[in-house]
């Protein structure tokens, strides 16, 4: 399967069309008696799509993106979209998290997809808060029409937990919040009477690509008896955070300074980094970074407060001596702790990445792919899927389309 790339324009017409159809969400009564649950604490039916609405909506999508024809060919179910709230934990303490799940309407046993979204700083853009604001979220909802239950966790710090900071690129809490949502979806299935066939597929982009690979590894190493993972498609992920750090510091400019600021702020809040902020960032950025990530600003707005000049953003000592100055050791160790080392995976895996990505360079994907091969994994099991001449932003939709089409092919071959 090859990825075709074309410049994608935000489908305003499509979004307005779907928003109009979303008004039919009150057709079904969701006030049934609820048995006791362990994870799921609340749910809300937010949309219902009938086959007629789905066909019209997919036609609108396809008029913009002809490569979506494969989705229409497999679409045969109406579906419901729920916002759910569920119990998880953070640093040993209970927390309420949230997400959105799309459920086919039918009597069959359905497989599941968990989609981990990319880097977001704005509370209003969490999947369960504003799914219509993101074209890929809308597209993923429609994957339910092909017979997948599609879950999208908000992550901690968003949705029901937006009163806390977001532990950005933190392995332990990310894995926990994704797996606990899958457990909550199983309970929702019992409550609402839909059936899961226990086949799980993982995908995500950028932060979500990193999260996908973290969850994949955790399932294989610790939870294989609970989750039947069939395939994984991480895309655009910063799998080696020390490599990303070095990549940024070796450049004159870096177009997404809020990425590193987000990491530093997250790891400082986690008390993993002990280096004083003014030893890493120059003024005024050392005073700005602690207050920028409060959920009210987008990444674009935070970038506007920072600088793309590496020498202006970072102190000379950090740029020149981060590897040798022991005052930076907590940074390097934290980046290592939250990076991903390849392992001898038994799961079919496709590592997707844009070849012109200047935010998270293609080398990150190439390096971990080669590391998988070094571990003895076959090229049938793990494959590198380059998206030609595509940068980080323009790779989002093509990576999503590839993942969906691949998962559909896998389920079709097993029927």
* Prior bond of 284 cis (ω within 30°): yes
pLDDT band at 136 (very low <50, low <70, confident <90, very high): confident
Average pLDDT in the 177-191 region? 98
252 and 198 fall within a common domain:
no
Give domain status of residue 314, yes or no: yes
CA distances from 380 to 192, 372, 373 (A): 38, 12, 10
Residue with tokens 């996908």, as numbered in its chain: 212
Is residue 290 within 8 A of residue 277, CB to CB? The reply is: yes
Give domain status of residue 42, yes or no: yes
Is the Cα torsion angle 189, 80, 166, 223 positive or negative in sign? positive
pLDDT of residue 34: 62
> Containing domain of residue 255, as a range?
241-337
Q: 371-401 burial, b for 16+ CB within 10 Å, e for fewer?
A: bbeeeebeeeebebbbbeebebebbbbbbbb
| Candidate from 32-41, 266-275, 349-358 with smallest mean pLDDT | 32-41
Asked which of 337, 371, 393 is the last residue of a domain, the reply is 337
Sequence-distant (6+) residues with CB within 8 A of 249 are 310, 314, 318, 319, 322
217 and 252 fall within a common domain:
no
Give domain status of residue 2, yes or no: no
87 and 190 fall within a common domain:
yes
Helix axes 135-143, 396-413, angle to 10 degrees: 10
249 and 227 fall within a common domain:
no
pLDDT, one tens digit per residue, over 26-70 is 323 445 566 789 999 999 999 999 999 999 989 988 988 888 899
50 and 156 fall within a common domain:
yes
Give domain status of residue 287, yes or no: yes
- Mean pLDDT over each residue of the chain, to the nearest integer: 92
Is residue 239 within 8 A of residue 340, CB to CB? The reply is: yes
Distance (Å, rounded) from C-alpha 58 to C-alpha 61? 5
142 and 191 fall within a common domain:
yes
Q: What is the CATH number of the domain that holds 264?
A: 1.10.260
pLDDT, one tens digit per residue, over 197-251 is 989 999 999 999 999 999 999 999 999 999 999 999 999 999 999 999 999 999 9
Asked which of 337, 362, 378 is the last residue of a domain, the reply is 337
CA distances from 73 to 43, 59, 179, 313 (A): 31, 11, 31, 50
345 and 331 fall within a common domain:
no
Average pLDDT in the 368-378 region? 99
Q: How many domains does the chain have?
A: 2
Give domain status of residue 211, yes or no: yes
256 and 206 fall within a common domain:
no
166 and 250 fall within a common domain:
no
pLDDT, one tens digit per residue, over 83-115 is 999 999 999 999 999 999 999 999 999 999 999
3-state secondary structure 116-164: ECCCCCCHHHCCCCCHHHCHHHHHHHHHHHHCCEEEEECCCCCHHHCCC
Q: Reply yes or no on whether the pLDDT at 19 is more than 50.
A: no
Asked which of 309, 337, 365 is the last residue of a domain, the reply is 337
Give domain status of residue 5, yes or no: no
Q: Reply yes or no on whether the pLDDT at 6 is more than 70.
A: no
Say what percent of the chain tops pLDDT 90. Answer: 85
Phi, psi (degrees; rounded to nearest 5) at 135: -60, -35
Give domain status of residue 6, yes or no: no
179 and 94 fall within a common domain:
yes
Which residues sit opposite 202 in a β-bridge?
114, 232
47 and 157 fall within a common domain:
yes
* Beta sheet of 79-90, edge-to-edge order: 40-49, 79-90, 93-104, 149-153, 109-116, 195-205, 228-235, 349-354, 382-387
Q: What is the CATH number of the domain that holds 72?
A: 3.40.50.1820
165 and 272 fall within a common domain:
no
pLDDT, one tens digit per residue, over 288-325 is 999 999 999 999 999 999 999 999 999 999 999 999 99
pLDDT of residue 27: 29
Residue with tokens 């899958």, as numbered in its chain: 182
Give domain status of residue 22, yes or no: yes
């Amino acid at each position: 399967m090859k990825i075709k790339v074309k410049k994608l324009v935000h489908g305003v017409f499509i979004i307005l069309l779907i928003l109009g159809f979303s008004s039919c969400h009150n057709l079904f009564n969701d006030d049934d008696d609820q048995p006791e649950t362990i994870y799921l604490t609340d749910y809300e039916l937010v949309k219902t799509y009938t086959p007629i609405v789905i066909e019209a909506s997919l036609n609108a999508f396809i008029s913009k993106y002809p490569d979506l024809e494969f989705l229409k060919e497999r679409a045969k179910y109406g579906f419901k979209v729920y916002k759910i709230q569920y119990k998880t934990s953070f640093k040993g303490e209970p927390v309420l998290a949230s997400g959105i799940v799309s459920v086919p309407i039918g009597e069959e046993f359905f497989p599941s997809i968990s989609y981990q979204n990319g880097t977001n700083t704005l509370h209003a853009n969490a999947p369960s808060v504003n799914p219509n604001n993101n074209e890929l979220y809308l597209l993923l909802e429609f994957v339910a029409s092909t017979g997948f239950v599609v879950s999208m966790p908000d992550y901690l710090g968003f949705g029901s937990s937006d009163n806390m900071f977001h532990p950005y690129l933190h392995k332990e809490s990310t894995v926990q919040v994704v797996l606990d949502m899958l457990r909550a979806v199983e309970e929702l299935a019992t409550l609402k009477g839909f059936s899961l066939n226990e086949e799980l597929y993982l995908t995500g982009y950028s932060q979500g690509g990193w999260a996908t690979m973290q969850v994949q590894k955790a399932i294989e190493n610790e939870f294989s008896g609970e989750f039947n993972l069939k395939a994984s498609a991480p895309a655009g992920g910063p799998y080696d955070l020390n490599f990303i750090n070095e990549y940024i510091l070796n450049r004159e400019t870096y177009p997404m300074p809020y990425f590193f600021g987000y990491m530093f702020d997250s790891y400082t809040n986690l008390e993993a980094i002990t280096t004083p902020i003014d030893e890493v960032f120059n003024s005024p950025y050392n005073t700005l970074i602690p207050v920028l990530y409060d959920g009210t600003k987008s990444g674009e707005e935070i970038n506007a407060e920072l600088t793309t000049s590496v020498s202006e953003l970072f102190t000379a000592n950090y740029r020149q001596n981060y590897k040798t100055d022991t005052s930076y050791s907590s940074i390097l160790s934290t980046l290592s702790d939250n990076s991903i080392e390849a392992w001898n995976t038994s799961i079919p895996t496709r590592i997707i990445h844009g070849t012109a990505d200047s935010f998270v360079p293609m080398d990150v994907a190439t390096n971990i792919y080669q590391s998988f091969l070094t571990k003895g994994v076959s090229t049938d099991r793990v494959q590198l899927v380059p998206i030609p001449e595509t940068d980080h932003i323009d790779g989002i939709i093509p990576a999503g389309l590839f993942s969906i089409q691949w998962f559909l092919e896998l389920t079709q071959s097993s029927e």
